[in-house]
Amino acid sequence: MRLDILTIFPEMFEGPFSLSMIKRAINKKIVEIHIHNIRDYTADKHKRVDDYAYGPGAGMVMMIQPIADLIDKLKSERDYDEIIFTTPDGDTFNQETANTLSLKENIIILCGHYKGVDQRLRDMYITKELSIGDYVLTGGELAAMVMSDAIIRVIPGVLSDETSALTDSFQSGLLSPPVYTRPPVYKGVAVPDILLSGNDKEIANWRLEQSLEKTRNLRPDLYEKLP
């Protein structure tokens, strides 16, 4: 997979994308991540990428020209499966979306800023608009990092144990069950006996029961959607 991320703050990605799982995915050549500075494509001599909105009201708007020119350049070099815009009014990003996007070959993620981007850019170029929650961030960079991480981790070969991702919360529409590790007893509190039994079938049944109970108590909205 190739990810092209369009931003006015490329430095923000240096830490998260140079550590842990994403770094390993890059080193294994499973994923390519290219960060593009939108300011490098503006025709404004002062490197501006925003301007006042038409009509009354406060706030600046990202201009169409530098972003469109950058996307046109990338599209001239390869075909893209999705051009994503991170925006609070987009569809909510979830595990199902991450799974679907992990199957794509080339993706562009545009990080929004200010009051957003010129609507004409959204109409002409964007294929998918996504939000990571019902709140507003200073910019779309953090959202792009969250989406990238969720997408990359489910690509085969990224995790050392690929079955781990299959048991994460939301993969089956349920929250994950409680997990335990050594020691078997800590300050008088013991690990559930079933997990020490060695009976894989009974352990699987216990985990399912725990997932169902946890989802029913904490996320009744998800529980109601179960078949």
The answer to whether residue 164 scores a pLDDT higher than 60 is: no
Q: Confirm if 210 and 177 have CB atoms less than 8 A apart.
A: yes
- In what order do the strands lie in the sheet containing 106-111? 32-37, 2-7, 106-111, 82-92, 128-131
Beta bridge partners of 91: 130
Pick the CATH number of 2-153 from 3.30.1360.120, 3.40.1280.10, 3.40.710.10, 3.30.420.270: 3.40.1280.10
The answer to whether residue 163 scores a pLDDT higher than 80 is: no
Tell me which amino acid residue 147 is. Answer: M
Q: How confident is the model at residue 143 (pLDDT cuts 50, 70, 90)?
A: very high
CATH number 3.40.50.20 is the correct assignment for the domain at 167-223: no
pLDDT in tens, 61-77: 999 999 999 999 999 99
Q: What is the pTM of this model?
A: 0.87
Domain 2-153 identical in fold to domain 167-223: no
For residue 145, the surrounding DSSP H or E stretch is: helix 141-153
What confidence score (pLDDT) does residue 126 get? 98
The count of other CB atoms within 10 Å of the CB of residue 6 is 26
Q: Domain spans of the chain?
A: 2-153, 167-223
pLDDT in tens, 3-49: 999 999 999 999 889 888 899 999 999 999 999 999 999 999 999 99
